[in-house]
Structure 1
Amino acid sequence: MGEHALSIGGGTPAITIVRGEGVRVWDTSGRAYIDCTSQSWALYLGHAHPEIRAHVGEVMGDLWHTHQGFHTLQREAFADRLIGLSKASDTRYHYDRVVPAVSGALALESAIKLAALDRPDRRLIGRVRGSFHGTTLGMAGASWPGTDDVPTERRTLAAFAGFGPAWASLSFPEPDRSPQENLKVLDEELTRFGDLLLAVLVEPVQGSGGQREVPRYWLERLRDRAARQGFMVVYDEIQTYIRCGRYFTDIDQLGPHMVALGKGLAGGFACGAVLMRDDVPGFPRTGTYDLHTFASSALAHSVAVKVIDIVERDGLLLAARDSGARLRAGLQALQHRFPEIHEVRQVGLHIGVEFVEPGTNAYAPEFAASVRHAALERGLLVGLGGYKPEVVKVKPPLIVTREEIDVILERFGAALEATHAR
């Protein structure tokens, strides 16, 4: 029966992967591909990293699953390490506790629970247009497919409207408006929500929203309004942790109340976490507020620490910035040959290429989809933006080499050539 025996709720059909190593995967015919999706952007160290493989074997020789109520040395080391990463010499805000979770979306739900316990008279939650925070019932209303961000036929998650929290949308700070205009819009929207607002979720760099970076001035105003208005700010760093060439988005200065993590946190094993500011009360010691069978995986927590060890030893934060800059330069060079490329957006190895119709600047999602398909035919896996389907995402593992980047650019250029010639 094969794939017909499965009911899959999302994703773009592609190849059948049978093996992976480093930045490459192989299909059933033995053909190799360079993987610039990092499999949902989650494999910072690539496929089948030998040190992770060996480490997993060692951990599993002793322990890999525990009930959440039991303490483990792995969980303690995991929390301590994340807290340590949040500290800087000029720290203004301090983070001192971690809530373990099963995934990024469930980490965001834990953050909302924490906010609701502290502010029980508030129920409205803010989200930024174009955002994607997961597909759970709780997060469906916060993600673009469940909202009026997109036309009716694309609102697939709207089927679950009403099952989760009440959401309010904030406008994305558009680059064609001045900072003053963007701040005026933000102030007006926050004022309109008033003291109903419990929290605001924000991705510092929108992933599904087209790899768009939220300006620092906007995040600073959100921080200041939160302090005055009494709501909490939650950063969704599920895609930006490590991949952007930094652990977090200047949280020691921008001061979100909580930071939600997931995806690449544990090197491809299911894992999430909430990093909490020291003035967030947290869950009471007694009672059942946030209990998950697999939220205390000794295996995932130990691998998450091992990932940090390797990132720090091998200088992979700097490598992400350098490799991203090399990819950006190569992609921008292709703009001279292909007028369909409107913009290349890059923060570390968080990269998006936006396509338009030449001469009109109308978005070109069909061209982007064709480029993705042509790249696949040439042995290169890239992704597409969801909210912004005119954006092709190029996000290889952080271990990608200069030589592999050159191959990526060559294959991407060939895919552009083939699509442009049609």
Structure 2
Amino acid sequence: MTTDRMPNAFRAGTTPLPERDAALIARRSAALGPAYRLFYEKPLHLVRGQGVWLYDADGRAYLDAYNNVASVGHCHPRVVEAVARQAATLATHTRYLHEGVLDLAERLLATMPAAIGHVMFTCTGSEANDLALRLAFEATGGTGVIVTENAYHGVTLAVAGASPSLGAGVALGPHVRTIPAPDPATGADARFAAAVEAACADLLRHGIRPAALMVDTIFSSDGVFAEPRGLLAPAAQAIRAAGGLFIADEVQPGFGRTGEAMWGFARHGMVPDMISMGKPMGNGYPVAALALRPDLVAGFGARARYFNTFGGNAVAAAAALAVLDVIETEGLQQNAHAVGGRFRAALAALSHRHPAVGEVRGAGLFIGLDMIDPESRAPDAAKAGRIVNSLREAGVLISATGPQGHVLKIRPPLVFSDSDAALFLDRLDAVLTANP
């Protein structure tokens, strides 16, 4: 029996595959080992991307409604040109003076609350969250960490132990406590701050001083919860009252994806102590960062040095600066807000035609759609899996999320248009009709 909780994973031997793809999977297994996973019952062999489209080895196009890594569109020419130009000029680390990393830090800080004054660069969101915990432990003297019940914060030793969504095969740390995600359907939204208080009390009862509440600000892996606004502020107050810090994990919801603001936490009218970012930051080039209050790194910086060989390197800075330019000049945050709002409304309207469609949640172009049993109204993970794989066959790419795997996770590039949404809706309608 597998302990893997990754929804929509390929299972070897369950689906007939073309000889070419079977050979590639055999090569992967031999060269990469057993820990890697592939999406979809029938894996995709992709060879190129452009805008919102991905293309397989046979030339078939797929509407990408999932990958927020290429947040401004696959192979955006402005980002490609910036990376190529910098790579052809200078590619080195942050121990030499260079304007690029400073320009990037200043641009990022300009989007943050005034209390956030420093940026530290990494290569991945996992590293950024790992660094956040390291600094939280140093600043508070505690080690207790609070996360939501199906959170994902990364794959380093520290944050994998605080990522319950990785499943039973990855044990939580003894210093980690989980709390329910703020699901309005269960009333958990009203009890979110109280759950933080209870988790702090439990840590203290076991002799563990609370250090941090780490929250993905749209609760991506818990099922996508964007409402009610303001719920993070009382939670931040609760962790601070216990001597800990609030870490906003913006790796998935950041960089304009939620539409109304650059960062997901801004929708809740609060200021985090630290803000991690990653995935979409370089549009495919590995770059990530942690922004934080200066006092939180002052003591650490006086006693220890921080260095990341590739974090904030000149090419990474060029990629990330180009992404910020594109978001601003192409109005992609505003596009996420406008197109996302119309898209969510149209998805909700499908429930009148398809009783298996439950609640539609989200903000901007980050959407969760429940699949339910029409009679019992219970979550239906099996149906969600069928929809995800049927859409893949129809040329549309999404995934599933949530503790029961019944939430369709829709997270297209920020250049997603109304016509792209119309195509998505047409194909989803057909797939739901074929899978009542």
Give the Cα separation in 2 of the matches to 1:33 and 1:145.
Answer: 27
Structure 1 residues 32 and 252: CA distance shift in structure 2, 3 A: closer
Give the Cα separation in 2 of the matches to 1:70 and 1:284.
Answer: 21
State the TM-score, normalized to the length of structure 1: 0.89
Give the Cα separation in 1 of the matches to 2:192 and 2:386.
Answer: 34
The letter of the residue matching 1:105 is S
For residues 4-47 of structure 1, the C-alpha deviation after alignment (integer angstroms, 9 at most, x for no partner) is 22235234242100111111111111111101112xx2111111
2:365 pairs with 1:336: no
2:236 pairs with 1:223: yes
Q: CA deviation at 1:193?
A: 2.8
The letter of the residue matching 2:61 is A
For residues 136-176 of structure 1, the C-alpha deviation after alignment (integer angstroms, 9 at most, x for no partner) is 22111211235xxxxxxx52323xx56xx721112323313
For residues 243-286 of structure 1, the C-alpha deviation after alignment (integer angstroms, 9 at most, x for no partner) is 11121122894121100000001111111100102432346446
Aligned residues: 400
Q: Which residue of 2 aligns with 1:327?
A: 343
Q: CA deviation at 1:291?
A: 3.2
5+ residue gaps, structure 2: 1-22
What percent identity do the matched residue pairs reach?
Answer: 27
Q: Which residue of 2 aligns with 1:137?
A: 157
Q: Which residue of 1 aligns with 2:18?
A: none
Structure 1 residues 290 and 49: CA distance shift in structure 2, 3 A: same
Match of 1:204 among 217, 223, 244: 217
Give the Cα separation in 1 of the matches to 2:182 and 2:414.
Answer: 29
User: Are the aligned partners of 1:266 and 1:303 in contact in 2 as well (CA < 8 Å)?
Assistant: yes
For residues 301-340 of structure 1, the C-alpha deviation after alignment (integer angstroms, 9 at most, x for no partner) is 1111111111111111110011111211221121111101
Q: Which residue of 1 aligns with 2:137?
A: 116
5+ residue gaps, structure 1: 88-92, 147-153
Q: Which residue of 2 aligns with 1:276?
A: 292
2:63 pairs with 1:34: yes
Give the Cα separation in 1 of the matches to 2:90 and 2:418.
Answer: 38
Q: Which residue of 2 aligns with 1:149?
A: none
2:430 pairs with 1:414: yes
Match of 2:325 among 309, 312, 332: 309
Q: Which residue of 2 aligns with 1:173?
A: 182
Structure 1 residues 377 and 180: CA distance shift in structure 2, 3 A: closer
Structure 1 residues 289 and 418: CA distance shift in structure 2, 3 A: farther
Q: Which residue of 2 aligns with 1:97?
A: 118
Q: CA deviation at 1:378?
A: 0.9
User: Are the aligned partners of 1:174 and 1:182 in contact in 2 as well (CA < 8 Å)?
Assistant: no
Give the Cα separation in 2 of the matches to 1:180 and 1:287.
Answer: 41
Match of 2:199 among 167, 189, 197: 189
User: Are the aligned partners of 1:144 and 1:387 in contact in 2 as well (CA < 8 Å)?
Assistant: no
User: Are the aligned partners of 1:128 and 1:169 in contact in 2 as well (CA < 8 Å)?
Assistant: yes
The letter of the residue matching 1:26 is Y
User: Are the aligned partners of 2:337 and 2:364 in contact in 1 as well (CA < 8 Å)?
Assistant: yes
Q: CA deviation at 1:348?
A: 0.5
Give the Cα separation in 2 of the matches to 1:177 and 1:285.
Answer: 42
Give the Cα separation in 2 of the matches to 1:283 and 1:401.
Answer: 47
The letter of the residue matching 1:17 is L
Structure 1 residues 145 and 253: CA distance shift in structure 2, 3 A: closer
Q: CA deviation at 1:199?
A: 1.0
Q: Which residue of 2 aligns with 1:366?
A: 382
Structure 1 residues 137 and 180: CA distance shift in structure 2, 3 A: closer
2:254 pairs with 1:244: no
Structure 1 residues 207 and 375: CA distance shift in structure 2, 3 A: same
Q: Which residue of 1 aligns with 2:14?
A: none
Q: Which residue of 1 aligns with 2:85?
A: 58
Match of 2:48 among 15, 19, 29: 19
The letter of the residue matching 2:36 is G
